[in-house]
Each structure stands twice: as structure tokens, then as C-alpha cells.
């Protein structure tokens, strides 16, 4: 059994100029990151590569600018300010293709910092709640430091890493970051959930993105039958559906009888549910999000959200104008995979306005906004006011369909803009 070392010794293997992968979501190894901040006086020009970091990420703060550059593959709150400054940047890429960056030495990794469960009797630790891109990072990084946390669930699938792969192991018990999407669901989102649930057929396989709308959808599925799960992310909403037998994975086209995911993020209840659960496989995201694997599931239904949609069907899901808010993630992986599935349905679900009253269905995307899902890929758009089906429709027809599900107070403006755009 490999011995544990102090956090100071573990981080001593990091050198100036290293490209460092940092495990994300509930696996963010903040104990290791805090020590990197402590050792910043000896480190210069280190590049941090990650997705969805959580917690107090000190190395993203301005005082560490000379030591750490945040090169994010999917932006989250702790690094958002840095990414939108000279202290960081964003790499646009499909989630399914991030492992390729590591494997083909496009972004070769010098060090990987990961959070894992304690080793079992055979010496295997689990990558826990986030296998996603961490599996490929561990397989390709030159040096690996593991933060071993007994609070980390032991997930199964592609999660297992033998201790012989770790250059340093640090023992540190800490609770995982949590979020309760279900507690934040608003009335408009519940209405969206009901509209989307009406589109989901019995025996469908579903994918849910991140946020309150996917949880609202899950809350509306309790009368469905024989659903399957093939998704990049799991949240608490699946637990009751699995326990009631609504989700049983019997009729999937691949991985029958298994719930397939690449990571989970939610409450402690979710982390305890996935712990050593043989019915749930946490797999490498290049497999989970590969559109050809997704399309093997009949009636594949992908449910994702957006920041704004223009009246022709262009979907911006990663930026607010030029301000980088999140990332491409797996939206296009699943939108395309669902579209290619027999009986599949790719769905974009949005509230008609933000909580601040800003319209989400707009005449034109904000200047600098990124198009994540193109108008050639869009099929269903759902708001609290109904469902717009855009596939096969021309630009004028799309505009009219989207105006009908826009906020009532925005429709006159959208009609005016649509008339001006298409009057010729």
C-alpha cells in the first residue's frame, strides 16, 4: 500500500510551466489547490485545465496571476471572473472531444490533481462523482496527485484507478460541494417540466443537462413507464424515479439495465445513492457523449437549456454576449445523438425571460454571443407557454413558432422585428 504524504510534499512535484489538470464539480480538490496557492511564490506560468470547478478556488484570484493561468474547458462560478480577464481564457470544445486534447497531446498534461475514494482491498480508488474527463486525464498525465477523501462515494464503471498510478497520495476528509436544484425550481420551470414530460414517451431514454429545468422535468415523470437514462450528468431528481421503477433501463439500445452517466452533482443524498451502486455506471465522457453511442438508444430524448435563442433558432448556451458564462459542454453531443436516434427528440427548454425580466427569445443574439446549437440542429424549443417545433420549417415559420411561446409582453416587439427582417 502506498503511503500518504503531507500536502506540502505532494504539491512539491508541481513545477513552473506545468500544465495541470484539476478534477472538477464535486471532486474539486480544494485542499490541494490551497496548497498550490501557498507555494505560489516558487511557481510561475502554470496552466490550469479543468471543467466546472467548485468551492473557493484561491488560485483564480488576482494575486496569483503570475503563477496560474486558468485555461477553462467549461466555465463555472469560481473561475468566471478570471476567464473573462487577462488571468484566463476559454477553450470551445464538445465535452466528448476533451479527452482527445489530452490523448493527442494537443493539451498534454504534466500533472493531474484528483479527488478519490479510499483504496479498496485490491488497491483501487474510485474517481467518485466525476469520471467525465478525469479518466482520460489520469490515463495521460505524467504525474498524478490524489486527494483521498473518505466522504467521496465509490462509483463504478470507468472510475477505478489503482494506487500504483499515483505519484503522491494525501489523506484529507472533507464534505463534498452540494447543490439542491429541486429546491430552486420556480413555477415557470414546473410548467416547462410538464410540457417536456408530455413529449417524453414511455420506454424513452433521457438525458438531462444542468440546472433547475431538468429537475423540473424529472419531477413531472412519475407517471411514465420503463424509462432509461443515458446522460452526462445525474442530479437528485433521478433517485425517486429509479426507486419507483419509472426508470428501469430495460428498453435502452445500449447498456441495458444500467443508468449511464459521466458525473453527478447534487445533495449528499445523491452521493450516498450512487455509492457502490452496481446499477449506475460512471463512464468516460468520450464514450457517454459520443453521438453514435447516444443514437443507439431508441426514443433518445435530450433535454438542455440555453441563455438565449434568436427567432431563426440559433441557440446561445455558453455566453452572455462576449462574456464567457459556461461552455459548450455536452449539449451538441446529445442534441445530435438524439436527432439521429430512432424516434429521438432533441429539446431546448427555457423560461421565456430570465429572473431579471430579460427576454430569452430574441430577434438577434447579443453581439459576441456564441452559437452552441445551430439552427440546423434545432428541433423542439419549450417555454412555459408551450412547444415550438422548428425542424423542417423555414425562417419565417420558425420566427412565428417561437413568438407564440415567447413572453406575452415580448411578442409585439418580436413580431415587429420579424416583419422588418422578412418583409423582402
Q: How far apart are the first and last CA of the chain?
A: 75
- State how far the alpha carbon of 206 is from the alpha carbons of 39, 152, 238, in Å: 45, 26, 11
Residue written as grid cell 478570471: 82
State the CB neighbour count (10 A cutoff) for residue 304: 27
Is 342 among the catalytic positions?
no
Burial class of residue 416 in the structure, from the number of CB atoms within 10 Å of its CB (0-12 exposed, 13-18 middle, 19+ buried): exposed
The answer to whether 317 touches 307, Cβ cutoff 8 Å, is yes
Q: Looking at 35, 232, 286, 384, which residue is catalytic?
A: 232
Query: Which positions are catalytic?
Result: 232
Amino acid at each position: 500500500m502506498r503511503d500518504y504524504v503531507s500536502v506540502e510534499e505532494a504539491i512539491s512535484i508541481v513545477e513552473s510551466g506545468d500544465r495541470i489538470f484539476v478534477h472538477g464539480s464535486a471532486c474539486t480538490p480544494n485542499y490541494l489547490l490551497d496548497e498550490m496557492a501557498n507555494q505560489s511564490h516558487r511557481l510561475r506560468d502554470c496552466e490550469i485545465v479543468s471543467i466546472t470547478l467548485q468551492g473557493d478556488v484561491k488560485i483564480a484570484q488576482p494575486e496569483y496571476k503570475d503563477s496560474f493561468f486558468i485555461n477553462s474547458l467549461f466555465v463555472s462560478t469560481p473561475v468566471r471572473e478570471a476567464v473573462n480577464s487577462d488571468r484566463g481564457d476559454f477553450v470551445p470544445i464538445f465535452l466528448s472531444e476533451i479527452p482527445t486534447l489530452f490523448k493527442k497531446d494537443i493539451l498534454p498534461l504534466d500533472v493531474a490533481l484528483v479527488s478519490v475514494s479510499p483504496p479498496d482491498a485490491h488497491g483501487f480508488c474510485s474517481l467518485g462523482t466525476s469520471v467525465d474527463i478525469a479518466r482520460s486525464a489520469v490515463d495521460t498525465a505524467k504525474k498524478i496527485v490524489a486527494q483521498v477523501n473518505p466522504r467521496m462515494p465509490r462509483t463504478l464503471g470507468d472510475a477505478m484507478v489503482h494506487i500504483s498510478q499515483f505519484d503522491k497520495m494525501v489523506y484529507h476528509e472533507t464534505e463534498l460541494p452540494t447543490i439542491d436544484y429541486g429546491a430552486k425550481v420556480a413555477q415557470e420551470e414546473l410548467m416547462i417540466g410538464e410540457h417536456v414530460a408530455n413529449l417524453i414517451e414511455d420506454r424513452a431514454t433521457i438525458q438531462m443537462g444542468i440546472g433547475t429545468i431538468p429537475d423540473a422535468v424529472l419531477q413531472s415523470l412519475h407517471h411514465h413507464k420503463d424509462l432509461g437514462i443515458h446522460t452526462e450528468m445525474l442530479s437528485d431528481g433521478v433517485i425517486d424515479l429509479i426507486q419507483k421503477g419509472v426508470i428501469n433501463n430495460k428498453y435502452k439500445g445500449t447498456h441495458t439495465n444500467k443508468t449511464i452517466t459521466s458525473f453527478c452533482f447534487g445533495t449528499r443524498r445523491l452521493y450516498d445513492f450512487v455509492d457502490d451502486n452496481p446499477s449506475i455506471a460512471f463512464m468516460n465522457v468520450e464514450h457517454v457523449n459520443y453521438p453514435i453511442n447516444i443514437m443507439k438508444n431508441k426514443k433518445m430524448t435530450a433535454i438542455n437549456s440555453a441563455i438565449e435563442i434568436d427567432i431563426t433558432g440559433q441557440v446561445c448556451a455558453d455566453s452572455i454576449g462576449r462574456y464567457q458564462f459556461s461552455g459548450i459542454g455536452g449539449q451538441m453531443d446529445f442534441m445530435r445523438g438524439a436527432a439521429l436516434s430512432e424516434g429521438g427528440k432533441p429539446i431546448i427548454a427555457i423560461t421565456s425571460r430570465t429572473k431579471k425580466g430579460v427576454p430569452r427569445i430574441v430577434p438577434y443574439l447579443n453581439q459576441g454571443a456564441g452559437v452552441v446549437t445551430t439552427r440546423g440542429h434545432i428541433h423542439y424549443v419549450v417555454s412555459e407557454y408551450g412547444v415550438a417545433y422548428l425542424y423542417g420549417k423555414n425562417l419565417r415559420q420558425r420566427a412565428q413558432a417561437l413568438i407564440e411561446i415567447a413572453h406575452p409582453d415580448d411578442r409585439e416587439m418580436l413580431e415587429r422585428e420579424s416583419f422588418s427582417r422578412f418583409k423582402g
